[in-house]
Amino acid sequence: MPYGDHAAYLDHAATAPMLPEAIAAMTEQLGRVGNPSSLHAAGRRARRVVEESREIIAEAFQARPSEVIFTSGGTEADNLAIKGLYWQRRDLGHHRVVTSAIEHHAVLDAVHWLAEHEAAEVVHLPVDGLGRVAPADLEAALTDDTALVTIMWANNEVGTVQPIAALAAHARGRGVPFHSDAVQAAPFLPVSLAEGADALTLSAHKLGGPLGVGALLLAKGVDPTPVLHGGGQERDVRSGTLDTPAIAGFAAAVQTTVARRDETVRRVGALRDLLVDLVRAEVPDAVLNGDPADRLAGNAHFSFPGCEGDALLMLLDARGVSCSTGSACSAGIAQPSHVLLAMGMSSEQARGSLRFSLGHDSTEDDVRALTAVIGAVVERARRAGLT
């Protein structure tokens, strides 16, 4: 089985299994040599692979090839966008950073660092009970000294999709750069730089590509101050030798994902709905979190009253089901999710929550493997909580 001895992998939001097309593209390049910055034949061959990959990714997300900046992943891309745009705009007298209360830690921690070390004034926009940011709240937060806005396309925990076009329009109307972390949205939604964002973050491993590679899409004329300095690769914005095999795998994953997106969304969405129905049948008081309509096709996030999420996770893991209590980046930290708290949940409700996330290789067998054990697992977790 692809996941060891586990019966069901329901944690695609943490990382997705690589697509066969991505494995093939990456493997082909691993057997070849060549630094894409070198001028000899081997270097030119590697450069051609990189540039063809750049074109594929640009077309998929409605950007120009010159607007695709390769990075080591989503975290680096977020940091480059947020710190780089802040530093560039701070020199023009702008110090305010506007974000939401439910961002991934790659965004929140970068923003907090700017507040602590670079004199940034940070505004955290609230969300409603479904995890949505109101465009009117963003409009009210924009001032003449706003350096940038950063709001995720879709939430990594509860799956709620944000009204990105409306949010970006408010920022654009005030001449403020708008960045969006689209890492979770890219596998399921037609993410586009043309939607009005000035910068978009992507990560290969969330859509069936390899770990360790991603991209920051930067609109023409948007030039953040570099975070890394060195050889001046990637428009002088991100120095470092490009990982040709990983970039080839990234492009293959993007191309395959986009070609199959409609079919995948339909199939995975139906599996997600089945999962929701069956979990509710087994645990009638389970609460589905996030927007019930405008959410990622692969996301089902539940709160289980009277349970601790960590206990549920480990009990399910022992029964061959992989899932998550939220962001994998904060796994093991015994504190409630900042996303759920921002949505108005109590600490107790937030701690008793699990995320089940499906992807391109998910099957009905995965769903039924979960629902065959979830009732007994919840019952045992509740008994343990009473002792």
CB–CB of 227/79 below 8 Å? yes
Find the helix or strand (DSSP H, E) in which 278 lies. helix 244-282
CB–CB of 72/215 below 8 Å? no
Q: Which residue type is seen at 22? A: A
Question: What's the sign of the alpha-carbon dihedral 320, 325, 329, 331?
Answer: negative
CB–CB of 159/295 below 8 Å? yes
* 77: nearest Cα among 237, 232, 207: 237
Q: Cα angle at 297 between 102 and 179, to 5 degrees? A: 40
Q: What's the rounded Cα separation, in Å, for the pair 261 and 186?
A: 10
Which two three-digit tokens encode residue 274?
A: 């089945």
Question: What does the longest C-alpha to C-alpha distance in the chain come to?
Answer: 70
CB–CB of 265/252 below 8 Å? no
Find the helix or strand (DSSP H, E) in which 379 lies. helix 374-386
The catalytically annotated residue of 24, 30, 329, 376 is 329
Q: Cα angle at 369 between 364 and 372, to 5 degrees? A: 120
Cα–Cα distances (Å) from 44 to 17, 41, 244, in that order, read 31, 5, 12
Cross-strand partners of 301 = 289, 355
Find the helix or strand (DSSP H, E) in which 171 lies. helix 164-173
Cross-strand partners of 207 = none
Residue 307 is among the residues annotated as catalytic for this protein: no
Q: Cα angle at 265 between 166 and 61, to 5 degrees? A: 50
Cα–Cα distances (Å) from 80 to 77, 106, 237, in that order, read 5, 11, 8
Catalytic positions: 329
